[in-house]
Amino acid sequence: MCGIVAAVTQRNIIDFLLESIQRLEYRGYDSSGLALINKNNNFIRVRCIGKVSQLIKKTKNKKLFGKIGLAHTRWATHGKVSEENTHPHISSHIAIVHNGIIENSFQLRLFLEKQGYIFYSDTDTEVIVHLLHWEQKKTGKSLLEAMHNSLIRLHGNYSMVVMDTHNSSRLIAVCSGSPLIIGLGIGENFIASDQIALLNITKRFIYLKEGDIAIVQPEQTQIFNKHNSIVQRKIIQSDVQYECVKKGKYKHYMEKEIYEQPTSIRNTLKHRLKNNKTIDFPELGVQEKNIFLHLEHIQIVACGTSYHAAMVSKHWFESIANIPCDVEVASEFSSRKLAVRKKSFFITLSQSGETADTLTALRISKKLGYLGNLTICNMKGSSLVQESDNCLLTKAGIEIGVASTKSFTTQLTVLLMLVAKIVSIKQKKNDIEKKIVKILNILPYRIEEILKKNQEIKNIAKKLYHTKNMIFLGRRDQYPIAMEGALKLKEISYIHAEAYPSGELKHGPLALIDKNIPIIITAPNNSLIEKTKKNIQEICSRGGLIYIFSDAEMNLEKNITLFKVPYVEEIIAPIFYIIPLQLLAYYIALSKGTNIDQPRNLAKSVTVE
Ligand code: HGA
């Protein structure tokens, strides 16, 4: 959430700032702004509400020039969406852009007001920049020392970049609880919240660690860790292609990412399926495999779409591996006193690896005596990856659409491989692993097949886009799929949707059924189909409007529409059945004309708790 870009160079960086901040728009898009230091050593600041395209318009013909600058795209947490609240904020000779929340900003604001500071915004960010100014003025020392002193007073999660007209050849970056990376150029250096912003300039990145403060100059960078010692951080060569961040032939990133799923899954499987028989995670060492042998319980913590993937895997861990598994939403896990099960192993799931709630849960878990921990994540170098003992990358490729799609199906792919690996290690035989490998090899082909049925989904979407409410139903491993389908619809089409386990309908929600509320049911032809058919009858008898996604034969009564799903092996049915629901949400939103890649109020990578 909130995108930050900064540069210190030997050339005019206005075009770079605008282009790069636009690429971070998926992180926040209620307003954006930039500041430069010009030839006369003054700040030039331009801000506006709305999308970055507005900022581009506003800067056009202004002939802006600066070799050092900051830019920001905002997702408001403190103060409404207004130009005054848009970053950068300035206190005398210091300018700041910030991502995160200062929890004690109210108290600090009162204190600073008493010292004579005038606030022009309602943000917590302006508190930081005045505090910095006050600290520096008080001691007369460097901005770096003022930064150290100010950080002691700030409570919360934040990353920020500041620049200073008293020393206009360096940026100071702080990373604490939200990601920041340094992009290394030749005679110029950059800072951003995400490598996507910098890929057209450099592929060499330093991921700042929790508590790091970096001084970034055109020719060098110096990093201090949280103990104020100078440290060398690893330079990572990114393998992400700049092309990946373009839409290509697609109208939206979400559409592109839905259709990319067969390729993403192939990439997830690549180098991990050995001789088409066994699964190999080269990332895991002997020690981890030893932990797998001894674990007796799995605790998974995640948010949003990742939480739904975790719920599917609970079914796999328990039914295939006979390992008890609990799944909890990260913010809940962190909000209560926990009793840890015996020999429990802790797993986190996150696309970005920066989800603040999940990171907090991981940090809490480390004090609770789990056997070990593992994160399943899409972003190499992210905070979750850095802070976890082990990591399995999903390799979905960069996901830009705010509504996750390919990260969900690749998370499920990794989870299923993990289940198979753990079963083999524990049972010391690999027949289940072999069977799962065989099925996983088929999965991308199966998905290609269902994607071809997009026209049928478009037709259903045309019938549904006027609706105000929908109910999604699924049983067992399809219940999380119903939840994920409902979430996709809510996120991008703003239609109210709720998901229930099919059997729960009669315990309350049946009261909602009438001809105006469409019911979406995913029902693979397995041992549960007869029970689901009974639920369908219950809805039919009450005049409900039913859309069934199934490979089973159905008695098609007047109000029933059947989307015939091609055959799929039972074990991978959850990964398969989400595809038509993703398409349905997408085509409904397309018909409604909503902003699909940047839905209102949402941002990708939720870096605030
Ligand atoms: N608290 C700041 C920054 C918001 C943010 O980081 N959102 O993710 C503000 O409200 O401007």
pLDDT in tens, 332-360: 999 999 999 999 999 999 999 989 899 99
Where helices occur in 97-207 by DSSP H, the ranges are: 105-114, 124-139, 143-153
Locate the ligand 1 atom nearest the alpha carbon of residue 78 and give its number.
Answer: 10
238-252, 386-400, 567-581: least confident range? 238-252
pLDDT at 576 over 80: yes
pLDDT in tens, 295-311: 999 999 999 999 999 99
Residue 604 is a catalytic residue: yes
CA of 105 relative to ligand 1 center, distance in Å: 12
Is the distance from the beta carbon of residue 193 to the nearest atom of ligand 1 less than 6 Å?
no
Superfamily for 248-449? Glucose-6-phosphate isomerase like protein; domain 1 (3.40.50.10490)
Angle between helices 124-139 and 105-114 (to 10 degrees): 50
Is the distance from the beta carbon of residue 98 to the nearest atom of ligand 1 less than 6 Å?
yes
CB–CB of 467/495 below 8 Å?
yes
Is the distance from the beta carbon of residue 78 to the nearest atom of ligand 1 less than 6 Å?
yes
User: At 75, which amino acid appears?
Assistant: W
User: What pTM did the predictor assign?
Assistant: 0.83
- Give the three-class secondary structure for 16: helix
- Give the three-class secondary structure for 467: coil
- What average pLDDT does this structure show over 374-393? 92
pLDDT at 74 over 90: yes
Share of the chain above pLDDT 90, in %: 81
pLDDT in tens, 448-481: 999 999 999 999 999 999 999 999 999 999 999 9
Share of the chain above pLDDT 70, in %: 99
Superfamily for 454-592? Glucose-6-phosphate isomerase like protein; domain 1 (3.40.50.10490)
Is the distance from the beta carbon of residue 314 to the nearest atom of ligand 1 less than 6 Å?
no
CA of 125 relative to ligand 1 center, distance in Å: 7
Angle between helices 143-153 and 124-139 (to 10 degrees): 130
- Give the three-class secondary structure for 602: coil
Is the distance from the beta carbon of residue 20 to the nearest atom of ligand 1 less than 6 Å?
no
Measured between alpha carbons, how far is 67 from 170 in angstroms, rounded to an integer?
Answer: 10
Which pLDDT band holds residue 157 (cuts at 50, 70, 90)? confident
- What average pLDDT does this structure show over 361-368? 96
CB–CB of 367/361 below 8 Å?
no
CB–CB of 531/505 below 8 Å?
no
Return the structure tokens found at 137: 């003025």
Is the distance from the beta carbon of residue 2 to the nearest atom of ligand 1 less than 6 Å?
yes
Measured between alpha carbons, how far is 90 from 104 in angstroms, rounded to an integer?
Answer: 20
The mean predicted confidence, pLDDT, of the chain is 94
- What average pLDDT does this structure show over 54-67? 95
**How many angstroms separate the first and last alpha carbons of the chain?**
11
User: At 524, which amino acid appears?
Assistant: P
Count of CB atoms situated within 10 Å of the CB of 328 = 17
Query: Please, which residues bridge with residue 349 across strands?
Result: 376
pLDDT in tens, 529-570: 999 999 998 898 888 899 999 999 988 778 899 999 999 999
Cβ-in-10-Å burial (0-12, 13-18, 19+) of 120 comes to exposed
- What is the model's pLDDT at position 558? 81
- What is the model's pLDDT at position 261? 98
CA of 78 relative to ligand 1 center, distance in Å: 6
Which pLDDT band holds residue 288 (cuts at 50, 70, 90)? confident
- What is the model's pLDDT at position 604? 67
Locate the ligand 1 atom nearest the alpha carbon of residue 606 and give its number.
Answer: 8
Is the distance from the beta carbon of residue 102 to the nearest atom of ligand 1 less than 6 Å?
no
CA of 76 relative to ligand 1 center, distance in Å: 5
CB–CB of 284/388 below 8 Å?
no
CA of 589 relative to ligand 1 center, distance in Å: 27
- What is the model's pLDDT at position 607? 67
Superfamily for 3-244? Aminohydrolase, N-terminal nucleophile (Ntn) domain (3.60.20.10)
> Where in the chain are the domains?
3-244, 248-449, 454-592
Measured between alpha carbons, how far is 286 from 390 in angstroms, rounded to an integer?
Answer: 12
Query: Please, which residues bridge with residue 497 across strands?
Result: 470
Catalytic pick among 2, 303, 325, 391: 2
80-84, 282-286, 442-446: least confident range? 282-286
Q: Quick check: do 3-244 and 248-449 share a fold?
A: no
